[in-house]
A and B are shown apart, each in its own frame.
Chain A
Amino acid sequence: MKRARWTMPLTHVGLVLACVVTLYPVLWVVGLAISPGQGFTPGLRPIPHDPTLQNFKELIFTTDAAGHLLFLRQLGNSLLVSALTTIVGMLLSTSAAYAMSRFEFAGRRAGLTALLATQMFPATMMSVPLYAIMNHLHLLNSIGGLVLVYATSSVPFCVWMLKGYFDTIPRDLEEAALLDGATYGQIFWRVVLPLARPALAVTALFSFMTAWNEFILAATFLDDQTLFTLPVALQRFVGEYKTEWGHFAAGAIVVSVPVMAVFFALQKHLVGGLTAGGVKG
């Protein structure tokens, strides 16, 4: 590949600049988290003169009335809810997206439009009827109910994203497999899904995030402190009259670490370059 000698250093300069702009506000979050108080003083210097880990300590070692560590419990709940949401959401959407991409059936076009349509109605207007439905289905105050709500709400994006990607995978491979006597199910699992790894990685991250940062529905549907997810606990630092910025910032950092870990784990699928190898010819 031809390439001017100065391209690569210039790219690095550009990327470093992008990272600086991206991370400056994040530095503020870090600064608030390691400040001794709960205040938030605007200014130019985000990092305090007297950093301390007090906020993290107070955040992590909160106990409930019975002396249990609430934070770890809620972190566990969040991980469980987000992992299950990712699994359920992906199961629902990959199969639906595959059908949307490969099969011709009545209602397909309408279905795709309907999926898009669900994203067009502001979510705030749907929460009261949703509560009533959850009540009728006895899904209130349960992790499973919350997972179903999150998973279904992530389905529209996931189906669209996956269908778009499936469409770009040539059908030759599947037709060949069909001729070899493979069933649609085998083709789906063995041929299509491996080829769609980049799109699967994107939608998995998206499903995970749908559940990971949500607090309004979680706080509304759950009635037990030991079932609360981490964002609910975090939002407790935002009060009617004042916000405990130090605790909130510390929590925000703790919350963002698993997301980055998930992304780091997924990114090799994101840029694996598998498609090119698999679809040759």
Chain B
Amino acid sequence: MIAALALMTTLAAAPQQIVVWHAYRGGEEQALTKLIDQFNAENPQYQAQLLAIPYDAYASKLTSAIPTGHGPDVFIYAQERIGGWAREGFLTPLDDEANAMRPDFTPAALDAVRFEGHTYALPLSLKSAALYYNKKLVPQPPATTDDLVRIAVAQTDAAHQRYGLAYAATDFYLHAAFLTGFGGTIFQEPGHHAELDTPEAENALEFVRQLALDKRVIPDEPSANLVTSLFDSGNAALVISGPWLAGELHNVDYGVASLPIVSSTGKPMRPLLTVEGAMVSKFANAPEGARALAKFLASRDAAVERAVIGRQVVATLSAYSDPRVGGDALLSAFAKQAQLGLPMDNTPAMGAVWEPERRALVSVLASGLSAHDALEQAQRRLLATTRAAPPEKSPIPYVIGALVILTGAIVLLRRRPVSKNASPVSAAFDVGSKAYAYVAPAAAGLLVLVFVPFAAGMGLSFFHHQEGHFTFIGLQNFFDILTSRDYRITEPMNFYFTLGVTLLWTVVNVAAHASIGLALALVLRDPLLKLKGLYRVLLIVPWAIPNYITALIWKGMFHRQFGAISALLRAMHIEPISWFTHFSTAFAANVVTNTWLGFPFMMVVTLGALQSIPSELYEAAEVDGASKWAQFRHITLPLLRPALLPALILGSVWTFNMFNVIYLVSGGEPGGTTDILVSEAYRWAFQRNEQFGFAAAYSTLIFVFLLGYSALTRRVGKDPALEAA
């Protein structure tokens, strides 16, 4: 009785849970945590709780979780996906809240979070680039680009690796400010695809080309890491970057100013404006509380906390009347610059712009292509990657066709004897039923968790995906890929070109892994070798360390001006090269990195496999006086085959689909030539308008190709492992 009463009171008083997801860290996370505590204290009917998610997994987690009801009530994200998510019905419009607070938001920020007449997020924080200047080197920040060029040239001393201007010049997010300053825009007409090869865009790119290649005031391959360390060490006078840079500066005395006016047009450089906002899920469990919390986070008091603790450039204007916010030089400089910002388009069409633009910037700045040609290529790439939806087809003929093929396959399989030397029926049945008991647990698990998703993924290849809607289009995706209409075979976007590169990539890598792994394993199993345990452990280190960081360290080692490999070459009096401007060197850089990452696995597998060879054979060979080479040739190699072959076959399949290294090291440069099929599939799925169907078709072709390859090796190689199967 008492227990029941207690239960009822707790039920009545139980606060409603509000789940909040974010990807903030450091000060921003601290501020948010404090605000959530405050909200919970002020609203006892709600219990809000935070979940911090790694940025790399954030978008995919949201997309998977929201429609199944496992998603958050409130989440904080930039505006870039609002269009796509609103179309898919993930977001609750927040028009009432936005209208109530309207005068207090930067107008550009509200524009950024509006889609088709509705406001889908309450703006929290503004991110845009501005100009950092080293106060010791540059007393007065440049007001025009003429000033900027003058200062940059005067401050550059290439011999001492000092640069007048440093910024991640191949990042279109930053380059867009030059584009707008020269009078250009990304989208000429709303709802239409972007036009990248306008005269304004060409002028902007030509201006940057001259800065980088003629005046040489910008360092080569200027990654964000390099820019930070150059500026902090006083070796860069001017830097274009966002508010996030400030937290990494410890040594330099700097100021922040608005980007200059372009002298030839008289227009200010307008940076792209990113707006992080609080969004409310359509599937929120506590919709009222969620809206209240979003409103609370955007309010003035909360904005002051976010600005002071989190160092955010807040979107709430009244927060700047607080002296701790308005009196902060950095925050107010960025807030002023944000007023001029060009809100980044929030539709999937924007997503399709990054890749062609980045390729254009790299081909101009690293390979010296003319601005005109580079932008023409960019436009062509953009049009090829934003495919129009193919006509919808009726699935019925395809279903019938699939059924016919399936039935045929079953009939064929039934008629084929199980094995040439099958045992008599009764014995086979007896052993067979035992066999199924052994296989069943693995088979059941694989069926549910591997084969079903696999079939579902493959099924997608018959659909076209646009903004949350799948339409059945039959074999059109395959047709488009295999005919490769937009690109000639010598061009990187062509399927057959990429296939060729993938094959080369696989063969070279597997050969390198297997030979290095085998060589080390043979040495390391020598019983007379001292310290072999130590060597073995040291040599598997590349496998043990997360490859995200080591792949990027390798990329840093390949940097032309600052990399360790260049320094080594210089010490040997060889002029260092730009690794990522030629196919051969970029490919080599990828292979070296992947070999380093992959040989330890092969070494371990080979060490194990070598144990399958009875040592008596070697003893007998020694007695017969066979040379070491003869022993290797006639004992080791042939007897190693059955135990090593599975690893080799799987190793080549994995390498064929090895996407990390390509993505992190060469990034497909130059011009997409070093991309392999799986990195193309990834780009279609996540960087080119989320064309999941097309990406699935790529994946299916990869699958069919690999299946054919394994069938071929089975026939041609007559390999015992498979032959015995």
Contact = CB atoms under 8 A, between A and B. Distances in A.
Interface in B406-457: 413, 418-419, 422-423, 428, 431-432, 434-436, 438-439, 441-443, 445-446, 448-454, 456-457
A241 B612 contact: no
B63 interface: yes
Interface in A8-45: 8, 11-12, 14-15, 18-19, 21-26, 28-29, 32, 37-44
A274 B612 CA distance: 9
A160 B646 contact: yes
A164 B643 contact: yes
Interface in A141-173: 141, 148-149, 151-153, 155-157, 159-161, 163-165, 167-169
A239 B55 contact: yes
B14 interface: no
B52 interface: yes
Given A122-B681, A201-B608, A167 B720 contact: yes
Contacts of A98: 438
Contacts of A52: none
Interface in B229-250: 229, 232, 242, 244-245, 247-248, 250
A76 B535 CA distance: 29
Contact of B51 (A125, A129, A223, A239): A223
Nearest to A261: B537
A239 B646 contact: no
Nearest to B448: A133
A276 B612 CA distance: 8
Contacts of B535: 15, 19
Given A18-B520, A96-B443, A133-B449, A242 B596 contact: no
A242 B223 CA distance: 11
B682 interface: yes
Contacts of A41: 225-226, 229, 562
A263 interface: yes
B250 A271 contact: no
A26 B545 contact: yes
Given A149-B449, A219-B57, A267-B533, A252 B545 contact: yes
Contacts of A252: 545-546, 549
A25 B553 contact: yes
A118 interface: yes
Contacts of A119: 650, 653-654, 657
A129 B548 contact: no
A168 B642 contact: yes
Contacts of A179: none
B226 to A, nearest CB: 7
B543 A209 contact: yes
B386 interface: no
B417 to A, nearest CB: 10
A280 to B, nearest CB: 7
Contacts of A123: 657
Nearest to A235: B54
Name the prevailing secondary structure of the A interface residues: helix
A275 B706 CA distance: 34
A184 interface: yes
A125 B681 CA distance: 9
B702 A225 contact: no
Interface in A229-266: 231-232, 234-242, 244-245, 248-249, 252-253, 255-256, 259-260, 263-264
Given A118-B446, A160-B650, 4 more contacts: A44-B567, A132-B68, A260-B540, A264-B537
30 contacts: A11-B523, A12-B531, A14-B523, A25-B554, A28-B553, A39-B229, A41-B229, A42-B563, A103-B435, A105-B435, A116-B649, A116-B710, A127-B453, A128-B64, A133-B449, A137-B448, A149-B449, A152-B446, A155-B445, A167-B724, A199-B608, A202-B607, A232-B57, A236-B53, A236-B54, A256-B544, A267-B607, A270-B604, A270-B611, A275-B611
Interface of B: 19, 23, 25, 33, 37, 50-57, 60-61, 63-65, 68, 70, 78, 127, 224-226, 228-229, 232, 242, 244-245, 247-248, 250, 413, 418-419, 422-423, 428, 431-432, 434-436, 438-439, 441-443, 445-446, 448-454, 456-458, 460, 520, 523-526, 528-531, 533, 535-550, 552-554, 556-557, 559, 562-564, 567-568, 596, 601, 604-605, 607-612, 614-616, 622, 639, 642-647, 649-650, 653-654, 656-657, 659, 678, 681-682, 685, 692, 695-696, 699-700, 702-703, 706-707, 710, 720-722, 724-725
